[in-house]
């Protein structure tokens, strides 16, 4: 197949491109050229701004892709331009979305007070009733924060008549290259041989589906190369979603940590461990549809995924500024033990 990948030089994209190349597909990456990535030499590059896709239509016509993967459709306008450019040019468009389209995401962030929707959330679960979830949040360093909305992206992509589109709703993605360092706060404490990791008791019971970066990339590859995924929406992520406490305990087993997770009422936690989220709203998603309809099987087991993530995080070398306020945590643990 001839495949065009838009914005494939970040966290997930290089894994997608490498896996497609390994399968023998002809892959071209369209990106600004500002980010380098370790990609196979056979991969072709087109440089340009995804916000001006129409200016590159002649190059896309010469390429004549069978499938276009849009890894970075953040806004309604970006999705509309992709649909306008590739309708009638490519057979299919695979667009990357997020589990933040679900209504529980609004509840978790405090933007809604609806009754929590039951989990796991399947693809037909209630969607957000608000728009632009990050608009007005000055603390978010993201160029498209004001106009970001994956829900609007999905609506544009799935309504395109000239493309057999696929939407993939990604989970919390972790692994080497994760700029959010999702597991780093826990790993730091384990490597510092802390006897306990303190956690809001509500968060300890909370669940959010995760996905290892290579497995998420493999799902994108299969959705791209398997026509059974056409005109479908899928949740992507691990088959089982543990609680937050169970996830940390699994990480501890990988590194040989002998401490324990200690759930505490929020008002007994040190201030730096308190978070402004409503933990009643879980983000565990049902990922069975993708596995059942296209036979997807993740290539990397969870334990191995954690091991690789740990190795990468440790290579980042925690600095003194990363050291938590252990004195405050010790005091909270002392009060809990004395109660």
- Nearest CA-CA partner of 113 in 132, 135, 129: 129
pLDDT by residue, tens only, the chain of 339 residues: 999 999 999 999 999 999 999 999 999 999 988 766 778 888 999 999 999 999 999 999 999 999 999 999 999 999 999 999 999 999 999 999 999 999 999 999 999 999 999 999 999 999 999 999 999 887 788 889 999 999 999 999 999 998 999 999 999 999 999 999 999 999 999 999 999 999 999 999 999 999 999 999 999 999 999 999 999 999 999 999 999 999 999 999 999 999 999 999 999 999 999 999 999 999 999 999 999 999 999 999 999 999 999 999 999 877 666 789 999 999 999 999 887
- Radius of gyration, CA atoms only, the chain: 21
Q: Which two tokens stand for residue 163?
A: 């493309």
Q: Which two tokens stand for residue 36?
A: 């380098």
Indicate the pTM of the whole model: 0.96
Written as one string, the DSSP assignment of 118-185 is PSSB-TTSPBPSSS-TTTT-TT---TTTTTB-HHHHHHHHHT-TT---EEEEE-EEESTT-TT-TTHH
The span from the CA of 83 to the CA of 74, in Å, is 14
Taking the alpha carbons at both ends of the chain, their separation in whole angstroms is: 64
Homologous superfamily (CATH) of 2-338 is: NAD(P)-binding Rossmann-like Domain (3.40.50.720)
C-alpha distances out from residue 337 to 180, 268, 313, Å = 32, 12, 31
Segments making up each domain of the chain, as ranges: 2-338
Q: In a 3-state reduction of DSSP, which class is residue 95?
A: strand
By CB atoms closer than 10 A (0-12, 13-18, 19+), residue 52 is exposed
**Cβ contacts of residue 116 below 8 Å, gap of 6+?**
104, 107, 280, 281, 282
């Amino acid at each position: 197949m001839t495949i065009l990948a838009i914005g494939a030089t970040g966290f997930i994209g290089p894994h997608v491109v490498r896996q497609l190349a390994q399968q023998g597909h002809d892959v071209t990456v369209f990106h600004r050229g500002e980010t380098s990535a370790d990609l196979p030499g056979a991969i072709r590059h087109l440089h340009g701004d995804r916000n001006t896709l129409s200016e590159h239509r002649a190059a896309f016509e010469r390429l004549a892709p069978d499938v276009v993967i849009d890894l970075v459709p953040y806004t309604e306008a970006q999705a509309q331009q992709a649909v306008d450019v590739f309708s009638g040019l490519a057979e299919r468009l695979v667009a990357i979305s997020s589990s933040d389209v679900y209504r529980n995401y609004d509840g978790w962030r405090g933007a809604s007070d609806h009754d929590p929707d039951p989990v796991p959330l399947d693809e037909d679960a209630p969607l957000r009733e608000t728009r632009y979830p990050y608009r007005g949040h000055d603390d978010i360093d993201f160029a498209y924060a004001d106009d970001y909305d994956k829900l609007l992206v999905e609506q544009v992509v799935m309504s395109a008549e000239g493309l057999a589109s696929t939407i993939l709703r990604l989970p919390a993605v972790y692994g080497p290259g994760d700029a959010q360092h999702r597991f780093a706060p826990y790993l730091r404490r384990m490597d510092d041989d802390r006897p306990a990791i303190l956690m809001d008791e509500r968060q300890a019971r909370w669940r959010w589906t995760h996905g290892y970066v290579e497995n998420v990339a493999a799902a994108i590859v299969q959705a791209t190369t398997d026509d059974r995924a056409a005109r479908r929406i899928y949740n992507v992520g691990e088959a089982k979603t543990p609680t937050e406490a169970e996830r940390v305990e699994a990480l501890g087993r990988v590194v040989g940590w002998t401490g324990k997770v200690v759930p505490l009422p929020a008002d007994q936690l040190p201030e730096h461990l308190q978070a402004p989220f409503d933990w009643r709203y879980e983000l565990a998603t049902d990922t069975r549809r993708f596995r059942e309809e296209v036979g997807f099987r993740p290539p990397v087991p969870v334990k191995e995924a954690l091991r690789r993530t740990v190795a990468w995080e440790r290579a980042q070398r925690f600095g003194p500024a990363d050291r938590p306020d252990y004195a405050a945590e010790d005091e909270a643990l002392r009060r809990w033990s004395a109660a």
